[in-house]
Chains A and B, each alone.
Chain A
């Protein structure tokens, strides 16, 4: 069946729904997703479905059973690299999205080379220290790139506490900014996914705002 869907057909349907101008902007956008856990796997799939043309997926980890309850992966993907597994899932949904894979752990040494080509950067790490380190490096090196971060999405608290907030020019944060994994709160799929989609939706809005 998927073999019968041409690139033209796939995009035509998006054109019909959201307009050619919108879809055209999405096709040209280059978005990096840093960390492919609960947030990152959901962000990437949302963006791919929406017609984002270039996704850069970055993670060093393998899919494990403990990921299945809150991340987009399938049981039959356990043991695979998250980059490869997510690329497979995207291929089944949006085969014409250009997916670039970096099987790497982002660090001070490689961030500047890995993220150079991406205009939009979604932070989707799990550790607070990694989030803070990424913010410092990205904001210092590329204040012109859009940085969308996440903080506070653990536990079962109301969805409506999760907000999108602008911190500064090109710098945004999504989450309730308080529900901490390290306070023993579990990560629960619906709430993580709500935060992920705050990030994904914001990326789409910002792409549309740009000329």
Chain B
């Protein structure tokens, strides 16, 4: 199980890139932290999610 955005527990063992695609994230509008560390956009495909991971995905919207 991975912990996703604080509260949700999800069974997931594929790549982070797959997770983001399946959850319809716009890759240009997010920041992803895995176990407290930022994952760079270039590393989404090669980052495999595994049991016990803590995944935080922040979505940014325009305005400032």
Chain A residues packing against B (C-beta within 8 Å): 35, 37-40, 124-129, 131-132, 135-136, 139-140, 143, 149-154, 167-169, 171, 173, 175, 177-182, 185, 187, 192
Interface residues of B in 31-64 (CB under 8 A from A): 31, 33, 36-38, 40-41, 56, 58-64
Interface residue? B28 (CB, 8 A): yes
- Give which listed residue, B28, B58, B61, contacts A180 with CB less than 8 A: B61
Main secondary structure of the interface of B (DSSP, over half): mixed
Q: Determine whether B1 belongs to the interface, using a CB cutoff of 8 Å to chain A.
A: no
Choose among A139, A180, A182, A187 the residue that contacts B38 (Cβ–Cβ < 8 A).
A139
Partner among B28, B38, B56, B61 whose Cβ is within 8 Å of the Cβ of A151:
B61
Q: How far is the CA of A131 from the CA of B10 in the complex (A)?
A: 27
Per CB-CB distance, the 9 closest pairs between chain A and chain B, nearest first, are A139-B38, A180-B61, A181-B62, A181-B63, A135-B31, A126-B64, A131-B60, A154-B63, A128-B60
**Would A125 and B64 count as touching, CB distance under 8 A?**
yes
Given contacts A132-B28, A167-B56, 10 further A-B contacts (CB under 8 A): A128-B29, A129-B28, A132-B30, A151-B58, A151-B59, A177-B61, A180-B61, A180-B62, A181-B62, A181-B63
User: Which residue from chain A places its CB closest to the CB of B36 in the assembled complex?
Assistant: A168
Measured CB to CB, the closest approach of chain A to B54, in angstroms, equals 9
| Bound Cα distance A163, B37 (Å) | 23
Per the CB 8 Å criterion, the residue count for chain B at the interface is 18
Complex Cα–Cα for A76 and B64 (A): 22
If the complex has contacts A139-B38, A140-B38, A140-B40, are A132 and B60 also in contact, measured as CB distance less than 8 A?
yes
List residues of B (7-21) whose CB comes within 8 Å of A's CBs: none
A151 vs B60: C-alpha distance when bound (angstroms): 5
Which of chain B's residues have a CB closer than 8 A to the CB of A175? 61
Contact of B59 among A177, A182, A192 (CB under 8 A): A177
CA distance A169 to B8 in the complex (A): 20
